[in-house]
Amino acid sequence: AVLLPSSDDDNNAPLPRDAEPAPDITSEPTDSLCTGAADQEIMHAQPEPALYKWVLTQVQGCFYGLGGSMKNLAVPDDDFHACISDAIEEGLGLTVNCSSCFADIGLCSKHFCTKSCGNVQISENMNLQGCLDCQKKHYCAHTFDKCVGWSMTQDLQLSYN
């Protein structure tokens, strides 16, 4: 399972010519988009590792569902973001605004952490810590935590299996 190779993950190899440029992730959300009690209750109802695994499953499903593969890296960002947001909204019951936070971390991971996040098999024993470490390194996790309104990823520890 692979999202997209990134320059960080792939020994600084350039992306194919038809790949979209990386999004500007330097701007942070000014406020949480998940401030509603219902969104917070839904997110806190699951242990963070289980929620993180489930979200990664949705992200990978959207990438492959939109025709992505190691030979086809050009999955349009808008379609990818919309797919993830819809999957989170429908699957968890979060609001549209809150679901976009999850789509944002998926998109950031697509551009910067493909090998770390995409090369894991969704199972009990997968190595998700490498994915999370990459997301932290590239500021995806910090922006996500600000967006959802709590520090879900900051102290999260996942299996290295």
The residue-averaged pLDDT of 77-102 equals: 96
> Which residue has 């009990």 as its token pair?
124
Specify the pTM: 0.77
The residue-averaged pLDDT of 57-78 equals: 86
pLDDT at 4 over 70: no
Quote the mean pLDDT of the chain: 79
Q: What is the pLDDT of residue 61?
A: 92
69 CB burial (10 A radius; 0-12, 13-18, 19+): exposed
The residue-averaged pLDDT of 110-131 equals: 77
- Between the CA of residue 81 and those of 33, 60, 107, 137, 158, what are the distances in Å? 16, 12, 6, 21, 25
The number of beta carbons lying within 10 Å of the beta carbon of residue 91 is 14
pLDDT at 18 over 50: no
